[in-house]
Amino acid sequence: GSVSKTNSLSIVHLKRDLQLPTILKDHDEDNEGYSEGKVVNTRFGSFPHTTLIGLPWGSQVRASIVDTGSRGRRDKQDEKKRKREEADAEEHANKTRKLEDGNDDEASTPGAAKDEKEAVAAASGFIHLLPPTPENWTSSLPHRTQVVYTPDYSYILHRIRARPGTNIIEAGAGSGSFTHASARAVFSGMAREEANGSATKKRKLGKVWSFEFHEQRHEKLQLELQEHGLEGLVQVTHRDVCEEGFLVDGASPGADAVFLDLPAPWLALPHLSRSTPPPPKLRPSAPGTPGDTNGTMELATPQLWISPLNPTAPVHICTFSPCIEQVQRTVSVMRRLGWVDIEMVEISQKRFEIRRDRIGIENGAQRGLLTTPANVDEALARLVEVEGTFKSFHENGEKVEVKKKDKSNPNNREKILESLVDNKVYKEGNLTHKSEPEVKTHTSYLVFAVLPPEWSEEDEKRARRTWDIKI
Ligand code: SAM
């Protein structure tokens, strides 16, 4: 939908790199003690859920002054703790991201409110209400592990050809960042058809078959998927895939695509074979399997082998590993198991920080900017601003009041817009950019490969007929 709804996830966007995912409630089932019902408390003020329900996505919402009603002192301490935690999270984010976006700390919002007075001042802040997209979820989800970020998963989903109808195997699920993105990839085509009013013929929906061996992570993800209405699209299984493979209730997910974000993907690869079981040396240890000897799975008969893959289509895989040694082992096992078109890619996404260098006399002079009378005037005016007083050089020798130095951030969007109206923004200084250092952009190496469908007796016969080949 295009508006926020009760009991649905929405993203409360405070500023760049600071978002709070929130399930909006029209009543206070946790009995927090606010007369307004449930309230999102942030360093930019308080936002009762009721003021956030039914708004078009993207709305800017001003903070409210909330009535703390029956809230006791302990509850207030909890609130302060949460604000402190939020401030810490923000400080952490700011260490790497210094750009201003929307809320301006210096100008309109104080830090974490220390008392009632500050709380009232905090009410002048605002948030933007954003829709729950995989991108917004990725940047706001509670981290339980390292996660796959949008630049990587958009490329991965494209390369493994995830689209409506695709069955994707994913392991490990971790914090569910990739899970949410892949759920949209296998589903969204259907939604688009419905939106066009042309959903006459039913299309096969794909599914994400997700695996996670850490019990709490598995439980938490299941809960989140329920809250986000994705249970039907994603099936999470609590499982060590290196030991037990990818069948679900003994049946094949029929996967067309696979994504492995595991410390040792090469141990999971033998389970991703086609109908022929993997060669004995590469077969995983499966204690308790009939015919198991010395930890090497010896299948009684090949017929017992069930492949988790779609038997009729090429299967596209991506493995995600931070170290090159992991890549080497993965590629080596892929080769032995018949994967082809093996390729490694590294996504190097950089954020460029665009800043306006305010021209002081010194650096202006260094850049040879003091060459025209206009530039000299500008530089002089700046010097005067710094000193705070200005003796007029006009005949009357009067002392001229100089505007107090504007200490607020010159990159504040409103200021820039104001300057634009005066058509003078270039006078604020040169636009320069800085990119993040190389090392920060390394996430992981992506290994892609394809497992072709098996060549069956039927295929052989068909080919011989087609090409008229006699035995
Ligand atoms: N891709 C995830 C995301 O975007 O949020 C993050 C995955 S995290 C880096 C790796 C996860 O794999 C961990 O949660 C870990 O518990 C799980 N894991 C590691 N070995 C596993 C195995 N053999 N079977 C199932 N899960 C495993």
Q: What is the pLDDT of residues 101-116, one digit of tens each?
A: 445 443 334 344 445 5
439 in a domain, yes or no?
no
Judgement on whether residues 197 and 115 belong to the same structural domain of the protein? no
How many domains in the chain? 3
For residue 171 and ligand 1, the question of a CB distance below 6 A is answered with yes
Nearest Cα neighbor of 180 from 123, 142, 213 is 142
280 in a domain, yes or no?
yes
81 in a domain, yes or no?
yes
Judgement on whether residues 174 and 91 belong to the same structural domain of the protein? no
Judgement on whether residues 412 and 274 belong to the same structural domain of the protein? no
Judgement on whether residues 158 and 230 belong to the same structural domain of the protein? yes
Of 20-29, 71-80, 102-111, give the lowest mean pLDDT range. 102-111
Range among 14-28, 214-228, 451-465 with highest mean pLDDT value = 214-228
SS3 104: coil
Q: What is the pLDDT of residue 10?
A: 96
Q: What is the pLDDT of residue 397?
A: 47
4 in a domain, yes or no?
no
pLDDT of residue 291 exceeding 70, the answer is no
How far is residue 194 from each of residues 45, 164, 203, 206, 273, measured CA to CA in Å? 39, 13, 11, 16, 37
CATH number, domain with residue 170: 3.40.50.150
pLDDT of residue 286 exceeding 50, the answer is no
pLDDT of residue 285 exceeding 70, the answer is no
pLDDT of residue 296 exceeding 60, the answer is no
Q: Where are the alpha helices (DSSP H) in 70-176?
A: 73-96, 105-108, 116-122, 134-140, 150-159
What is the distance between the alpha carbons of residues 11 and 319, in angstroms, rounded to a whole number? Answer: 30
Where a domain ends, among 81, 102, 132? 132
Of 322-326, 344-348, 430-434, give the lowest mean pLDDT range. 430-434
Q: Which of 237, 262, 272, 444 gets mutated to test ligand 1 (max ligand atoms within 8 A of its CB)?
A: 262
1 in a domain, yes or no?
no
Judgement on whether residues 398 and 361 belong to the same structural domain of the protein? yes
DSSP state of 298: -
pLDDT of residue 219 exceeding 90, the answer is yes
Spell out the residues 6+ positions from residue 45 whose beta carbon is closer than 8 angstroms to its own.
62, 63, 64, 109, 119, 122, 123, 124, 125, 126
Do residues 283 and 292 make contact, with C-beta atoms less than 8 angstroms apart? no
Judgement on whether residues 294 and 416 belong to the same structural domain of the protein? no
For residue 175 and ligand 1, the question of a CB distance below 6 A is answered with yes
Q: What is the pLDDT of residue 249?
A: 94
Judgement on whether residues 145 and 118 belong to the same structural domain of the protein? no
pLDDT of residue 126 exceeding 70, the answer is yes
Higher-confidence residue of 345 and 407: namely 345
- ipTM of the complex model: 0.99
- Output the CA torsion 179→181→183→186 (10° steps): -130
Of 200-204, 233-237, 258-262, give the lowest mean pLDDT range. 200-204
189 in a domain, yes or no?
yes
Confidence of residue 268 (pLDDT cuts 50, 70, 90): very high
Question: In what helix (H) or strand (E) does residue 361 lie, and over which residues does it extend?
Answer: helix 361-366
Taking the centre of ligand 1 as the mean of its atom positions, its distance from the CA of residue 170, in whole angstroms, is: 9
pLDDT of residue 278 exceeding 80, the answer is no
- Residue nearest atom 9 in ligand 1 by C-alpha distance: 146
The pLDDT tens digits of the residues spanning 352-403 come to: 888 877 655 445 444 445 455 565 666 666 666 655 544 444 444 444 444 5
Looking only at Cα atoms, what is the longest distance across the chain?
A: 113
For residue 174 and ligand 1, the question of a CB distance below 6 A is answered with yes
Q: What is the pLDDT of residue 14?
A: 94
Judgement on whether residues 261 and 146 belong to the same structural domain of the protein? yes
Per the DSSP assignment, residues forming a β-bridge with 433 are: 354
Q: What is the pLDDT of residue 173?
A: 98
Q: Which of 140, 213, 260 gets mutated to test ligand 1 (max ligand atoms within 8 A of its CB)?
A: 213
3 in a domain, yes or no?
no
How far is residue 320 from each of residues 24, 141, 262, 315, 343, measured CA to CA in Å? 35, 20, 7, 17, 12
What is the distance between the alpha carbons of residues 38 and 52, in angstroms, rounded to a whole number? Answer: 11
Taking the centre of ligand 1 as the mean of its atom positions, its distance from the CA of residue 377, in whole angstroms, is: 62
208 in a domain, yes or no?
yes
Judgement on whether residues 228 and 246 belong to the same structural domain of the protein? yes
Where a domain ends, among 111, 132, 153? 132
> For the purposes of burial, counting CB atoms within 10 Å of the CB of 468, is it exposed (0-12), middle (13-18) or buried (19 or more)?
exposed
Do residues 86 and 43 make contact, with C-beta atoms less than 8 angstroms apart? yes
The pLDDT tens digits of the residues spanning 34-61 come to: 777 899 999 889 999 999 999 999 999 9
- Residue nearest atom 8 in ligand 1 by C-alpha distance: 174
Q: What is the pLDDT of residue 303?
A: 54
For residue 79 and ligand 1, the question of a CB distance below 6 A is answered with no
Where a domain ends, among 132, 149, 177? 132
For residue 441 and ligand 1, the question of a CB distance below 6 A is answered with no
Of 119-133, 173-187, 251-265, 449-463, give the lowest mean pLDDT range. 119-133
Judgement on whether residues 338 and 198 belong to the same structural domain of the protein? yes
Looking at residue 413, its amino acid is R
What is the distance between the alpha carbons of residues 314 and 113, in angstroms, rounded to a whole number? Answer: 58
Of 52-66, 214-228, 238-252, 290-304, give the lowest mean pLDDT range. 290-304
What are the tokens at 434?
């800085």
Q: What's the domain range around 87?
A: 9-132
Judgement on whether residues 83 and 182 belong to the same structural domain of the protein? no
Judgement on whether residues 315 and 369 belong to the same structural domain of the protein? no
What are the tokens at 138?
């990725």
Considering the chain, what is the average pLDDT of its residues? 78
Q: What is the pLDDT of residue 70?
A: 53
Q: String of b and e for 18-35 (b: at least 16 CB within 10 Å)?
A: bbbbbebbeebeeebebe
Confidence of residue 217 (pLDDT cuts 50, 70, 90): very high
Q: Which of 212, 219, 225 gets mutated to test ligand 1 (max ligand atoms within 8 A of its CB)?
A: 212
